[in-house]
Chain A
Amino acid sequence: MKENRYNIIKNSLENFDIEYADANGTPQLIIKKEDLIGVATKLKKELEFDMLVDILGVDRFQKENRFEIIANLYSNKNKDRLFLKVKLDSKKPECPSLTKVWKSANWYEREAFDMFGIIFTDHPDLRRIYMPDEFEYNPLRKDFPLMGIPGSLELPKK
């Protein structure tokens, strides 16, 4: 990202409590859960990040702030990329939904919900997207065994 554009972003987000980091050359903003919608709206409306490419879930498997979500943003006009990172609570990973800002967040958030059990409050349609509806676990959590839990997924009878 160009230096002066980075400075413009920093200046316009002055009011928020943001930790700036670098992810292999791409700027990363680590923000508070409460600020997520505010920052996202500002990034979209004023700073031209019109595209939400992906939302990732992360399980750090530690006592505090075990879960994270990372939103991958792209600006088609300025041709640059930005990561938004939110650290979430270990026991009850809840996060406001980005669907109000970018519509494409819908399925990404369903994926993170399915794989990590992160609950996106005020999401319009929070269902599992990969695993069957009756499945009880979150497969990409670190404490989930690679081969699954025997008997948790049903096979048809022979």
Chain B
Amino acid sequence: MGLEEKILHKEGFFTSKLTTLIEWSRKNSLWPMPMGISCCAIEMMHTAGPRFDIARFGSEVFRFSPRQSDVMIVAGTVTYKMAKVVRKIYDQMPEPKWVIAMGACTSSGGMYRTYSVVQGIDLFLPVDVYVSGCPPRPENLLNALLKIQEKILPEKKK
């Protein structure tokens, strides 16, 4: 970020506090890109609903434009044909960006051990958190989001 660099290089002693501030704000407003490809997407929508309420963690703004989002939730079976599209959308997201592989199919191909399904999206995307389940419970997805928040600003640093 421009602001970060400007103050960081002029006055050294602000550095740690400012990055902490930026990371703190970044961590608490992770906007997801809902890459809902199959049934996991229903559970992802459920997470956004009032019962599980992803807004409690600052991620209620599901952005359908990759240019406005920070974390891509890949929810569903990724076929070889779809892989190109997923990668294209990932490439359009601005840095810094994270990826959640939600569910068995996305993480490993799941029950689709076939010629047409990519056996894990880590074959073409850098994945930060894998979520188990078929489909995962909404709590599980929230946990993945907390894991990414932890990754951005670890608790110990505070």
Contact = CB atoms under 8 A, between A and B. Distances in A.
A132 B81 contact: yes
B151 interface: no
Contact of A144 (B113, B115, B125): B115
Interface in A48-102: none
Interface in A110-156: 130-132, 139, 144-149, 153-156
Contacts of B116: 130-131, 139, 148, 153
A158 B80 contact: no
A2 interface: no
Contacts of B113: 146-147
Interface in B101-119: 113-116, 118
Given A132-B81, A155-B83, A156-B84, A146 B124 contact: no
Contact of B118 (A131, A139, A149, A155): A155
Contacts of A103: none
Give the size range of B's interface with the partner. 10 to 19
B115 A158 contact: no
A147 B114 contact: yes
Given A144-B115, A146-B114, A149-B115, 7 more contacts: A131-B81, A147-B115, A148-B116, A153-B115, A153-B116, A158-B124, A158-B125
B124 A156 contact: yes
A155 B124 contact: yes
Nearest to A158: B124
Contact of B126 (A146, A147, A158): A158
A45 interface: no
B39 interface: no
A31 to B, nearest CB: 33
B147 interface: no
Interface string B16-41: 00000000000000000000000000
